[in-house]
Amino acid sequence: MQLSDLLDNNDNREIDLTKTRIKVTNFMENQYQQLKYLANTSPLQSVSYDNIKVQTSQSNSIESKAIKQLQAKEYLRIIDDCINSLDDIQAKIFKYKLLEHRTEYDITELTGYSRAHIYNIFKYACREFAKHLNLVTDIDLLEYKEWYYMDKEKELRKYNNMIINDKLDYIIKQNKNLESLNNRNTEMILKRLERIQKLNQTIIYLLLGVVGLLITILLG
């Protein structure tokens, strides 16, 4: 395996910051909280009510729950590592918003930044968190801009339009050539007709002259 395959650096798609922020926020508010609950809940022991012992099934055995608890703790450790790997200010704002659930007013007071600046930092923090998490786990919170795919479609359309335009240009040129040929043929026909007409007029004039000469001879 090459380093590029290991680090997955071949993805040139542009990340959608807003959609990624929403996805990260939903993850931290839902799945992350479930992982915390699972990690902090002790496996349920067999319970006896009035001497009736309730045993868990094989699929929900104590061992299975213990394994799930360990897995949940490992996920939480990785998530916390990803948060702590952020830049200092990004990590602070990420924790203020998604772990401590502080208000925007509190965050502005704690950081000294404006709401707009905090929002931008938080978006980039969510992006970096999602990238780190995707690199080391099977959790993918990244969202990509749709225009990336639209651009590919535009490139294909542009290529198709170029082909169509080339074909149209060829057809137009052929039509122009045909039209030019037709015009030349028409011009030649008209010239021939004009010559024939002149010849006919000459013949008529000659015949009239001959007729006039015969009349003169007969009357003389």
pLDDT tens, per residue, the chain with 220 residues: 454 555 565 567 899 999 999 999 999 999 999 999 999 876 655 444 444 444 545 555 778 888 999 999 999 999 999 999 999 999 999 999 999 999 999 999 999 999 999 999 999 999 999 999 999 999 999 999 987 555 566 666 776 677 776 777 767 777 676 677 677 777 788 788 888 888 878 888 788 877 777 777 877 6
Query: Are the C-beta atoms of residues 94 and 125 closer than 8 Å to each other?
Result: yes
Whole-prediction pTM: 0.59
Count other C-beta atoms under 10 Å from residue 130's C-beta.
22
15, 3, 12, 20: which is closest to 123 by C-alpha?
20
Query: Are the C-beta atoms of residues 16 and 143 closer than 8 Å to each other?
Result: yes
CA atoms within 13 A on the CB side of 162: 6
